[in-house]
Amino acid sequence: MPLGLGRRKKAPPLVENEEAEPGRGGLGVGESGPLGGGGGGGSHVGLPPPPPSLRPRLVFHTQLAHGSPTGRIEGFTNVKELYGKIAEAFHLPPAEVMFCTLNTHKVDMEKLLGGQIGLEDFIFAHVKGQRKEVEVFKSEEALGLTITDNGAGYAFIKRIKEGSVIDRIQVINVGDMIESINGQNLLGCRHYEVAKMLKDLPRGRTFTLKLTEPRKAFDMISQRSTGARPGSGPQLGTGRGTLRLRSRGPATVEELPSAFEEKAIEKVDDLLESYMGIRDTELAATMVELGRDKRNPDELAEALDERLGDFAFPDEFVFDVWGAIGDAKVGRY
3-state secondary structure of 265: helix
pLDDT of residue 260: 84
Domains held by the chain: number: 2
Q: Do 183 and 274 share a structural domain?
A: no
Whether residues 179 and 103 share a domain: the answer is yes
Confidence at residue 49, expressed as pLDDT on a 0 to 100 scale: 58
In 3-119, where do the E strands start and end? 59-64, 71-74, 97-102, 116-118
**Inside any domain, residue 71:** yes
pLDDT digits (tens, 9 = 90+) for 217-262: 765 544 555 565 444 444 444 445 766 666 555 666 666 667 888 8
pLDDT score for 89 = 96
Among candidate residues 180, 214, 248, the one where a domain is terminated: 214
Same domain, 204 and 290: no
Look over the chain and give the mean of its residue pLDDT values, rounded to a whole number: 78
What percentage of the chain reaches a pLDDT higher than 90?
44
Among 39-53, 88-102, 267-281, top mean pLDDT goes to 88-102
151 with 202, same domain: the answer is yes
Q: Indicate whether 262 belongs to any domain.
A: yes
Classify residue 166: in a domain, yes or no. yes
Residues 208 and 277 in one domain: no
Say which range, 8-22, 36-50, 191-205, 273-287, has the weakest mean pLDDT: 8-22
Between residues 286 and 282, the one the model is more confident about: 286
Lowest mean pLDDT among 146-150, 230-234, 282-286: 230-234
Count of alpha carbons within 13 Å of 45, Cβ hemisphere only? 2
Give the gyration radius of the chain's Cα atoms: 19
Is a pLDDT exceeding 60 seen at residue 189? yes
Mean pLDDT of 83-96: 95
182 and 63 in a common domain: yes
Which band of pLDDT confidence, cut at 50, 70 and 90, is reported for residue 43?
Answer: very low
Specify whether 146 is located in the same domain as 282.
no
In a domain, 221, yes or no: no
Where in the sequence is the domain holding 122, given as residue range(s)?
56-214
Predicted pLDDT at 224: 53
- The per-residue pLDDT for 322 is 92
What distance in Å separates the CA atoms of residue 18 and residue 150, rounded to the nearest whole number? 22
Q: Could you give the CA distance from residue 87 to residue 117 in angstroms, rounded to a whole number?
A: 18
Whether residues 63 and 208 fall in one domain: yes
Question: 160 in a domain, yes or no?
Answer: yes
The yes-or-no verdict on residue 68 having pLDDT over 70 is: yes
CATH for 128 = 2.30.42.10
Q: In this structure, are 84 and 206 located in the same domain?
A: yes
Q: Please indicate, yes or no, whether residues 85 and 197 belong to a single structural domain of this protein.
A: yes
Confidence (pTM): 0.67
Number of other CB atoms surrounding residue 168 within 10 Å = 13
Q: Are residues 262 and 207 in the same domain?
A: no
**What span, in angstroms and rounded, lies between the C-alpha atoms of 153 and 161?**
24
Q: For residue 130, what is the enclosing H or E element?
A: strand 123-137
